[in-house]
Amino acid sequence: MIKKLKNSNPNFIEYLNIFTNKFESFYNQKYFIDSSPNILKESIQYINSTGGKRIRPFLVCECAKLFDIKFEISIYAAIAIEMVHTYSLIHDDLPAMDNDDLRRGNETLHKKYNEAIAILSGDALLTDSFIMLSDNYKNLDLNICLELISLLSKSAGSGGMVGGQILDLFPENNNEKSVNTMNEMKTGALIQCATSFGAILGNAPKKDHKNMYEYGSSIGKVFQIKDDLLDIQGDEKIVGKRINKDKDNGKFSFIDLYGEEKTKKLAIEYVSQAKDILVSYGTKNNYLILLTDYILDRKK
Average pLDDT for 225-237: 77
- Residue type (1 letter), 106: N
| Confidence (pTM) | 0.91
Tell me the residue range of the domain where 63 lies.
10-297
108-162 pLDDT, tens digit per residue, is: 999 999 999 999 999 999 999 999 999 999 999 999 999 999 999 999 999 999 9
Q: What is the 3-state secondary structure (H, E, C) of the chain?
A: CCCCCCCCCHHHHHHHHHHHHHHHHHHHHHCCCCCCCHHHHHHHHHHHHCCCCCHHHHHHHHHHHCCCCCHHHHHHHHHHHHHHHHHHHHHHCCCCCCCCCEECCEECHHHHCCHHHHHHHHHHHHHHHHHHHHHHHCCCCHHHHHHHHHHHHHHHCCCCHHHHHHHHHCCCCCCHHHHHHHHHHHHHHHHHHHHHHHHHHCCCCHHHHHHHHHHHHHHHHHHHHHHHHHHHHCCHHHHCCCCCHHHHCCCCCHHHHHCHHHHHHHHHHHHHHHHHHHHHHHHHHHHHHHHHHHHHHCCC
The domain total for the chain is 1
The reply to whether 60 falls in a domain is: yes
Q: pLDDT per residue over 27-83, tens digit each? A: 887 766 678 899 999 999 999 888 888 999 999 999 999 999 999 999 999 999 999
In a domain, residue 1? The reply is no
pLDDT in tens, 257-274: 889 999 999 999 999 999
pLDDT at 203: 97
Residue 182 has pLDDT above 90, yes or no: yes
The answer to the question of residue 3 being in a domain is no
Q: What is the CATH number of the domain that holds 140?
A: 1.10.600.10
How many residues appear in the chain?
300
In a domain, 144, yes or no: yes
244 versus 210: which is more confidently predicted? Answer: 210
Asked if the structure places residue 2 within a domain, the reply is: no
Q: How far is CA 269 from the centre of its chain?
A: 20
81 belongs to a structural domain = yes
The answer as to whether 4 is a domain residue is: no
